[in-house]
Structure 1
Amino acid sequence: MREARGTRQVAEDALAWVSAQRAQFALGDDALAADGQVNRSWKPLGELAQVCATVTRHTAPPDPLHACAADLMAFAWQQTDEGELFVRLQRLEPFATYPLEVYAAMAAAGLRHPGYEAATATVARTRGWRLTEQEPTRRLGVLNAEARSGIRETGAMPQALRRTWLAGLPEPWTFEESSGYSLTHVVFHLTDWGRAGPDGVPPDLADYLADWLPPWLDTCLDAGMWDLGCELLAVAASLPLLPEPTALQDAWARIAAVQHPSGAVPERGSGADHDSGPDFLTHYHPTLMAAFAATLTTRRLDDAARADTHQRPGGQGVLG
């Protein structure tokens, strides 16, 4: 379990940096403005909530990692005025999907606003909402957000899945950065961001990823693409079979090597340009992904170790 402890440390340090930077995730006065920069306001807050929902799911309440994630989730919910801002956003932009996607991350942790859900469900019944043209991966994300928020069941997800790059089982040499981010999010939506377990990945996709994810991951890490590398590690921890232990340990050692003493992880590059401290906008997402992937990996390694202990001859069984 040596690698599990190392991976756990990556998660702790990453979330510690995120916690120290919480003020940067706060919504500003332009959160409801028509010309507001969603990618600098709602997007970071939603990603914070998404990761914290998974961390709290896979850690026990007495765990300091759980406590940190729960505290950050409470902060995120407070930033939305306990859901009231979603209601106002829905009135201003009734056909925008990003408010629902951010809300769904919080709903996954049990933070709900019935009024917002009712208002959004009304819009979601319109043809205009159902027929909005979206990229396949984004469509999958919206469907997952609807299911999380109790607006609609996930019956349409298999059809949406088959339109994605990953579901086509493309030639492995066609993998590139954009397709890499696409496939990671397909797996995230299928597994409800690691909350539903590896059974959400269809067998044909799981087999395909078991073969090709390791070389893709190695290529990304060689290129210093730490953000995508962390996302691929999260995918690896979401599959029925983990990669070979040596490959997994090497990948996490490389992530740990570029992690700043503060806990921040750079998006790409050597990680040596930290003289003035990690910049929030270029570090928050890979740092969140490091915490996300490390938490999932640690949980899978712990589960595997417990299963191995129970299966050893003479060892105590589950009820022993």
Structure 2
Amino acid sequence: MTAHEVQEARQVRRMAEAALAWVSAHRDGFRLGEDALAERGDVNRTWKPLGELAQVCVCVRRHTDPADPLHVTASDLLAFAWQQTGRGALFVELQRLEPFATYPLEVYAAFASAGLRHAGYESATATVALTRGWQVTEQQPNRRLSVLNSERRSGIPEHGDMPEALRRTWLAGLPEPWTFERAAGYTLTHVVFHLTDWGLTPQAVPPPVATYLRHWLPPWLDTCLEDEQWDLSCELLAVASSLPGPPERALSQDSWARLAVAQDDSGAVPEVGAGRGGRTGAHDFIDCYHSTLMTVFAAVLTINRLREAAEDGADGAAVRSGQGVAR
């Protein structure tokens, strides 16, 4: 890496460390309460945060060495999250209460991808997934991608075709760039996350979509940063590091420098506005847990892609000088 690349990687790394430290210190906010199985419980305040915690921890573990403090903390948090589910037993109860709900499988899939599995839940869900009711459930196209990816990660036969589901999304239509707005932004980021299994397989993004995103991500991200949409900005940064080919260095460097302004001394990043200097008190958990998790997610992907680009550059230089063979 050049001196500038090393400096950028260190800044992004510091942000990831601070954000994950905040998450670890506030793990109680992710605990499942008695309302987790309540008939009128709010899934967005129970299972959704826990599932997002698990998914980010899985991503951190994928892209860090086991001895890395980030990896160690993520492993600890993942174990905590799995314990909250009764080591998978609560998924069985959820499946009994809401057999055709997809969110339990979507949360479970993060654990399954890390080897944390519950045979009873998988067997029950696989049976339900064979029904016509499951296979014809009407969903938004990006949500259909999520379910298909969750089935694959959980070892359940996929009930549909990923390319077909992709074709129905806003992103696959390569829409006029000026039609981008907040809702479309969150939709497109999750389309990419599900296609690439949360940044693991960038090559899964079709070339036309990748080219479109490389062209329009910079102005979209600039707009979100200017509007202090920190959460969406982090998701767009994660998308930038989930595309095939080397990352756009200028985009990454400028965006992380601007995002750093939003992170406070505790490591928290608000979803919107009132970053460092504009804050009058501590952030409420519900207003910053997701954006702080997304900071960790985007940072780990960015660092990984910077490292890969540096290694590829070193290999290329060695080949040109006759000192090595490209991998």
CA distance in 1, matches of 2:238, 2:175: 21
Whole-angstrom distance in 1 between the partners of 2:195 and 2:326: 32
Matching residue of 1:92: 97
CA apart distance, 1:131:
0.6
Instruction: Give the C-alpha shift of residue 317 in structure 1.
Output: 3.7
Tell me which of 102, 123, 129 is aligned to 2:128: 123
- Corresponding residue to 2:153 among 134, 148, 153: 148
Question: What residue identity is the alignment partner of 1:119?
Answer: A
1:213 aligns with 2:226: no
1:106 corresponds to: 111
Residue 244 of structure 2 is aligned to residue 229 of structure 1? no
Deviation string, structure 1 residues 188-239 (Cα, Å, up to 9, x no partner)? 00000112x2101011100110111111111110111000000000000001
Structure 2 residue matching 1:261: 3-state secondary structure: coil
Corresponding residue for 1:266?
270
- Report whether the alignment pairs 1:175 with 2:180: yes
Query: What residue is the counterpart of 2:62 in the other structure?
Result: 57
- SS of 2:152 mapped into structure 1: helix
**1:276: Cα distance to partner?**
2.7
For structure 2, which runs of at least 5 residues remain unmatched after alignment?
1-5
Percent of residue pairs identical: 66
Indicate the RMSD between aligned Cα atoms, in angstroms.
1.6
Contact residue 310 and residue 316 of structure 1 kept, 8 A:
no
The CA distance in 1 between the partners of 2:245 and 2:217, in whole Å, is 12
How far off is 1:255 after superposition?
0.9
What is aligned with 1:78?
A: 83
Out of 237, 240, 252, the position equivalent to 2:256 is 252
Q: Which residue of 2 aligns with 1:136?
A: 141
Post-superposition shift, 1:248? 1.2
Structure 1: distance between partners of 2:265 and 2:280: 12
CA shift digits 1:160-186 (9 cap, x unpaired): 110000000101111111100000000
Task: Give the C-alpha shift of residue 5 in structure 1.
Answer: 1.2
Please say if residues 15 and 296 of structure 2, whose CA atoms lie closer than 8 Å, have aligned partners that are also in contact. yes
TM-score by length of 1: 0.96
Q: Which amino acid aligns with 2:203?
A: D
Per-residue deviation, residues 255-276 of structure 1 (Å, max 9, x unmatched): 1111011100011113145433
Separation in 1 of the partners of 2:247 and 2:179?
A: 21
Comparing 270-279 and 297-306, the one that deviates more? 270-279
- Look up the match of 1:46: 51
Residue type at the aligned position of 1:193: W
Shift of 1:288: 0.4
What SS is found at the alignment partner of 1:31?
A: helix
Residue 11 in 1 paired to residue 11 in 2?
no
Q: CA deviation at 1:65?
A: 0.4
Name the aligned partner's letter for residue 261 of structure 1: D
Q: How far apart, CA to CA, are the structure 2 residues paired with 1:243 and 1:306?
A: 13
